[in-house]
Structure 1
Amino acid sequence: MDISIFFLLLCLLQTLSLSSSNTLDTLKGTSLSVEKPSDKLVSENGEFAAGFFPVGDNAFSFAIWLNKSSTPTVVWMANRDEPVNGRGSVLSILADGQLILTNSLGITIWTTKAGDLTSLEVTNLQLQLQNTGNLVLHNSKGVVIWQSFDAPSDTLLPQQALTMMSSLISRKSQDDYSSGNYKLFFDYDNVLRLLFQGPTMSSLYWPDPWLTDPGQAGRSMYNTSRRALLHDSGYFESSDHFQFNATDFGVVTHRRLTLDPDGNLRLYSLQKMNGSWDWVVTWQAFSDPCRIHGICGPNSLCSYDPVSGRRCSCLQGFNLKDETDWSYGCEPEFSIPCNHTDETSFVQLAHAEFYGSDIFPYQNVTFQFCQEQCLNRCDCNGFQYNYNEGSGYYNCYPKYLLMSGHQSPNFVGDFYLRLPKAGLFYSKIPDEEFKLQCSANLTKQIIRTYENKTVKLLLWFATTAGGMEVTCVLLVWLFLFRTSKHPNPDPASQGYLLTTKFKRFTFDDLRKATRGFKEVIGRGAGGTVYKGVLPDQRVAAIKQLDEANQGEAEFLAESPGGMHASDSGETREHKRLVTLVKEYINIGTATRKSRIEEIIDPMMPGKYDKVKMELLVKVALQCVAEDRDERPSMKQVVEMLIGHED
């Protein structure tokens, strides 16, 4: 009996522990507090989390974010426009089936709509974060009361549908999660559109607003379901026949379709790069961001370059209104006088256009007429004057607001900005000088080359130095050729010394011949003499010097022609011919004792000029000096050789 009670209590404690722990994927009949950072829901696969997310100093919003990316990525937010403080704020499940978020004062900041629910439907309510990133409020029977997929913020996840009842609204900026100026939604004509909602005006900008029929953009207005869906494979489809595939279509990975703060709709894929998971753009609605309305605000121009990106600039005579936010645009430093048409003029902006805000469109009119219409109105800030290829005549569009300014070489048309003649804004340059007189049929490719002066200088220096060294070597070789027209082949490669024609043995050869220097047959002042048997069975006396610096007399006595008959050992530095000659020349031994002939092939008696050979050896040694700074220049080599001829 006691054992049964013990096990019953143990099971009860485990159940209470699991139900009170908020690090699981399900919250049962309790609440989440902002004061506990660990008080959150985590999906079963561990990749999504839901809880209070910091959006500023002591400011939190209840959100869902992806944990797998290198930095947490918010995919949904409840109270994005009204964050709560870090104390006393709670998310609770009410008995009537509502989710409610209250701040420290108990004021309701955000809530869901429960609808007409029976008492049975709201029993045993559970808030669960699924592996798809969907936060679902359901009862014990699995009936969904509310889910976050029905109320997206700025992001659409795979298997999350966008319907006529939902929309995506961009955030203000990358660091500001509050609602921005752009919206993705189904319009009344059943077409999926992008809308700019500015502080003073709004305008549709996707599909292209100048299309009178959405069918020209491949859209259909006849499907009233108004539903769009992103698939796991990267395929997006909409009921208005708009569809696209991600560049990595078919790859199994996390994806999100986000309406970014700049008004561009982009599809992102999570990819592993350099050991971390980061988002990569795999589709976007606009390759040229300047086509997005309101991106630079009023009284400004947007220009785009694929290398440098988007650039906003105020029009002449206007100053930036808010240096932290281009969406507020620029404000004028002047005022347009009324009833004084002679005090204002126009500055031509080539290939520039401003969308909307037309006072009245005029078709098939002259430039002079269009200019006069603008001058006669106090509210006219400029006019668009374009040639219509379809109709074959020019159209005029006076503007009372300068919104969504865009400058691109691909745009055929100019805008004429109205400015006062007086002061800084007066321009003496005629309008005609601003025009580009280019044929529409002429296409010319401009090839530009860019030079780095520092790299160019280094290349010239390296080339010159290399050329001087090659020339120096060639001059020495040419001098040798003139000295001896019948050069002998180099026998060193055949195993013989250059000066004696004797067979050259290595230290290993002599060690084998003497059987490890075992049999001593005599001793001299400079070393020990051993008996050795050569490979051809000849018996030889082999002397090993005790030191490598024995002195010149001992060295010459042991080395016919100024050379060793063998190496003095692997651990000792072997002094080859060039090193020996250099030492002889440096100390004056060869020249002082007239022994220059000892480094010359003995097969050349009387065939060389001794003085020329001395000069040749000196020049050659200088050219191969270890220190580059000590090597002579090409000019110095020529002067030394020519000086001798003179």
Structure 2
Amino acid sequence: MVILLNRRCFLVLILFATFSCFFLKLCFGEDRITFTTPIKDSETLLSNNGIFRFGFFTPVNSTGHLRYVGIWYAKVPVQTVVWVANKDTPINDSSGVVSISDDGNLVVTNGRNHLLWSTNVALPVAPNAAWVQLTDNGNLRLQENRNKGEILWESFEHPYNSFLAAMTIGKSNRTGENLKVTSWKSYTDPSAGNYTAGISLSPFRELMIWRSNVTIWRSGPWNGQIFVGLEDEVALLFLDGYNIISDDNEGTFTVSYATDSPMYHMNLDPDGVLYIRSWSTTTRAWEIGTTIPTTACDAYGTCGPFASCSSKEVPICNCVEGFVPRNKTERSGGSWSSECLRSIPLQCRVSTGGGGKGDVFSKMQKMKVPANAEQSVATEKDCPNVCLDNCSCTAYAYDQGIGCMLWSGDLVDMQSSLRSGIDLFIRLAPELETHGRPLETHSKRAIMITASVLGVAFVAVLCILLACRKFKKRSGLAAPEKDTSAELMFKRMEALTSDKKSASNQVKLKDLPLFEFKVLATSTDNFSLINKLGQGGFGPVYKGMLPEGQEIAVKRLSRASGQGLEELMNEVVVISKLQHRNLVKLLGCCIEGEERLLVYEYMPKKSLDAYLFDPSKQNILNWKTRFNIMEGICRGLMYLHRDSRLKIIHRDLKASNILLDDNLNPKISDFGLARVFQVNEDEANTRRVVGTYGYMSPEYAMEGLFSEKSDVFSLGVIFLEIISGRRNSHKEENDLNLLAYTWKLWNEDEAVSLADPTVLDESFVKEITKCVQIGLLCVQEVANDRPSVSTVIWMLTTEITNLPKPKHPAFIARRGDYEAECSDQSSQKVSINDVSLTTVTGR
């Protein structure tokens, strides 16, 4: 009996040992890879506290099914990838494996055992002695079992697009390389992009962003506590939360947050902007602390040589004291291409002799010092003399944490009035210093004298004008009004519309405020790329601020847009007298020379598509918010169709033309393609089909027929995009577009599966299903089958569930769809219908 029990125990032990060895990964936990426990495509590593995952992924919203190996946040519902291994060699199926190779390296291979990526280090250990662990700060480490787990390779020393807390940037202690982060090629393509960010180590350490190795932003030099030259918003962020630990001997920088939380990181996006983000457990979204670049002044060399930039002034660029613009007209018009020149040449008499009076220095306070500084060992007292003794020296600065800095030649990329800035001394001719007074004092005296003279002149001119006015009243003569070019243009616009059945006879165009081009150029920092909000069919749209502080959005006609006076005129005519909380407000326009601009109220949350199709922002739109947006769009559209004194068909309703205010309330925008109907008119025909592929109704795209039901079709597409968080052009299973895929789910009684996972909740299942049904009713192929907008609002806002069953939607699955999809993703233009005789105009 004892022998039998012993045999059973022995068998149990053998089975347990075999089971343990087979599942050896469990012995080490889910955060490790060993030689005998690789991970396949369906498996992932999870860090000890479940903060990060490592494994295979496909970027959100990518059109293909390429597989990459990377690290992402495990507890964040929005896919947030912070590191990628095989960024330039993806796998096109699910056969990939991550393992420890025979030479002890961590490798990624495909189903044919082709090597796609490797840590590529020479290891003095056997493969079964090496293992990989994912830590809770997002670091993937290859280490050995012996020698106290010596780290042989780690992802922190091979960063990609994200800079995590506790990660070191700058000179690597292990390899000696300068560690930098690199952007993705696009939001759906993790391959290496054009932008890099890192520390420039010589001669002074500066945080830089490069585009194809050309500087586009610099922080200013490091003084041991902060980068002297950061915009105030960024400087405050570093002073109040973010900590920078610098090893001056090694040239390394470590950035961490005061709470030591791993839920903070910096991300270099595909457009070259560095986002500093933190995860909010309240909003369940990434919150942006700030971005770099922050203002137009951050763009490298914005104002040109010998000019200083200040985002707090209008205009933002001004020549420094002692310099004047080569072309004053260009500078006053908001163009900074004209360089600043010395008003008086330097004498170049050195400080130690040479006779006569030597050059002087103009002191500029709180400055981001210019680029390309030279280092000197001179003391603070000797620093100015070292500059004077060198005829090519144009400026100097001294900071206790940096030492003496000198500049030769042009002074480029200066900013003023910065909290983190330091004093800069610019070399000027001695004539600019008078009677032994410092240059700064003399300038103040000159300002006082100038102000006094101007005051006397103002009083004299005012007296003359009053006298002239009194004389004109007595003589009964009135001065003729000046007929400006803009007024002439308005007359031309009215003449162009006088013979058309449009709203022009009901709207006084001269009632619309007129803006000067110079004012709009100044308000947008000369249409800076940093202020660019987006690109539409009409042209780019920029954020601006008027002198009185009002924020605006300026739409500027692009000469390449194919649109011109007719579209601008149409938008002015249509929207100038429309007032509704769900329509964007037109504030005015500008017509000068070849320039055509429209000025709108600024919408801080930008457009709906910026949230729907961005994985990092989708969860900001919860289901209640999405439902309110759908209802708001409907109410704005009903106002256009029925409630305004003009009956208007929008003809280009899409997610990018729905703007959001501070409270995420929707406003319909872009009326350049809208058509005004007569009261008794229900349908019209055109030979010029305009709009955006994917949102056009079939009768409009094929026959040029448009009506209220054309807008209803576009509304239905937007509904399905809002519900799903997918573009209509995005291909689902079996290469189906969104309408076809929704129809398939509806017929399978799985309509709720269409919903974006970030909003799917059991308490909303009935409402989501009803909204999918309404969306399908709106996109039915036959126009007469579609409901009116008022009916859509009724279906949305009532508890009724007995809605009509939708008929087959209007979707076309053909080979040409792929090309149209690519066009839509890149520029969101219209597709070309090669069958119809109708003329199609792209946007």
**TM-score (norm. length: structure 2):** 0.33
Greater share of residues in helix: 2
Larger C-alpha radius of gyration, 1 or 2?
1
**TM-score (norm. length: structure 1):** 0.42
Q: Which fold has the larger relative contact order, with Cα–Cα distance below 8 Å and residues 6 or more apart in sequence?
A: 2
